[in-house]
Amino acid sequence: MFENKNIALALEENAIRRGPHPAIIEGAKTITYQELDPMVRRVAGHLADQGVGEGSIIGVCLPDCADHLMINYAVARLGAVILPLDWRWTEVEKTNVAAFFKVSLIVGLPESELAAFSFISVDEAWHEAVGARAPDTACASGGDRPVVLSLSSGTTGRPKGPMMTHAQFTARFVMQWVTLGFNQHDRYLSATPIYFGGGRSFTMGCLFSGSTVIMFPPPYEPEELIAAVVKYEATTLLLVPTLLRRLLEVPKGNRPLLAGLNRLLSTGAILHVDERAAVMSHLNPNFINYYGSTEGGGTSVLLPKHTGQAASSVGEPIYQTQVQIVDDAGQEMPVGEAGLIRYRSPGVSDRFYNDPEASREAFRDGWFYPGDIGKIDAAGLLYLVGRAKDVIIRNGVNIYPGEIEQVLLNHAAVQDAVAIAWPHAGRGEDVAVFVVANDGTQEEDLRDYCRENLASYKVPSGIFFINELPKTALGKIVKADLVARLGSNK
């Protein structure tokens, strides 16, 4: 079966099966499948000339471009391991990650060179050397051999990198086909950085299956993105929530702005129920929210059919994925009760590179624990309650921030909300919430609303208005920035 092969072998097969079909479109340039495979072989040969071989960890520090995708597949072909490095990081951030993962070589733009590491520039000399090589580089074995390390905790502190094998990466491609509907006829507009897990997995999965990847890297204006979807006849698009919100500000015509897409995807953070409804009405009705993690890939999928109460869930488990809610001892919880989320599938990594302590915590008895608190209803839908580390313990009682946030978001005046622990000398912790609300909204009105919809011990002690919640590029709220604003609540 193909899951036991090197993922780069798919390009050989596609060169024969899909020969003249466009593989990568980059501006006015089109690379067909019969061109792509020999180009990847030449890149692999050039990397081998630099000493890259099986097991070498190669930092790929490039913006989104055809070269980036070809280098990823060339590294895989050699049996080496891709370490994605965001080209936008500072030199300190790049050095921190490259040193921890002990890279053998970094491939990047000339301005990304790090003096402490072996480095090769993707410049004119690179292209001349690659073009002069014969496409005769042999393909290493795949299967359970590692192919990619993907950072799951940013670049501050001690980085964590789940080690993905060829088989696990291929399993994720299969999940994309079965659950999300990807196929060889797709035209995927690559508008989310390849450095991110979803951007990398979807682009490489498209080339694996024989569809077309259209390079459209950020930054761009919302109107430019809308025009690109039409110009390139894109069928599939992945966007982070922050960009979806920007698109919602664009005036709508007689039909949804991205009506030509077969599917519009989002991952990285969960949209509020009303935002999701607006996306389906204003942008594209075939909107799919994909919940998952870097370590485990996709977990569940919220489909257009999920309406009513189901719209506040993160959907149903994806293909070949088993999800459970358990207590601290690993015992499964009754339906509807909150506990630790754990899941397993052929696409889940089983360890962090060079981090046995973090591996023991996250990977247990064949299950992956993402650190999220959730519950499963009688229909099998998964609901997020919060992060385990974000649980607020007030007078010894566990309070889940997600429950408080959902109540506040149901208030007509509240646009966004986040609940966090507020240190208290007597109670241990209190509940503080930061809210983005309409002008004129009163703190006491929101507190009264919480009293009507929450148990008394869950009612926030402090409600703080803020113009905008601090968020990452993927739309995740940076709670540390909010915690820093709080002193002790005595």
How far is it, in rounded angstroms, from Cα 443 to Cα 73?
54
Q: What are phi and psi of 314, to 5 degrees?
A: -105, 20
Question: What's the confidence (pLDDT) of residue 472?
Answer: 79
- Reported as type and span, the H/E element at residue 453 is helix 443-453
Low-confidence ranges of the chain (pLDDT < 70): 1-3, 152-159, 487-490
Reduced to 3 states (helix: H, G, I; strand: E, B; else coil), residue 283 is coil
- Greatest alpha-carbon pair distance for the chain in Å reads 73
How far is it, in rounded angstroms, from Cα 33 to Cα 20?
6
Task: Write the CA distances from 70 to 198, 409, 435, integer angstroms.
Answer: 17, 44, 44
Question: What's the confidence (pLDDT) of residue 256?
Answer: 96
DSSP E strand stretches across 410-450: 414-424, 428-437
**Taking the CA atoms of the chain, what radius of gyration do you get in angstroms?**
23
Task: Count Cβ atoms within 10 A of the Cβ of residue 349 and give its class: 0-12 exposed, 13-18 middle, 19 or more buried.
Answer: buried
Which of 71, 20, 66, 34 is closest to 216 using CA atoms? Answer: 66
How far is it, in rounded angstroms, from Cα 273 to Cα 298?
20
| Type of residue numbered 111 | E
Whether pTM > 0.85 for this model: the answer is yes
Q: What are phi and psi of 311, to 5 degrees?
A: -65, -20
Which of 109, 205, 112 is closest to 164 using CA atoms? Answer: 205
Chain mean position to CA 486: 30
Size of the chain in residues: 490
DSSP string, 98-131: HHHTT-SEEEE-GGG--TTS-EEE-SHHHHHHHH
Order across the sheet with 462-465: list the strands: 414-424, 428-437, 462-465
How far is it, in rounded angstroms, from Cα 71 to Cα 112?
16
Q: Show the domains of the chain with their CATH numbers.
A: 2-201 (3.40.50.12780), 219-387 (3.40.50.12780), 391-483 (3.30.300.30)
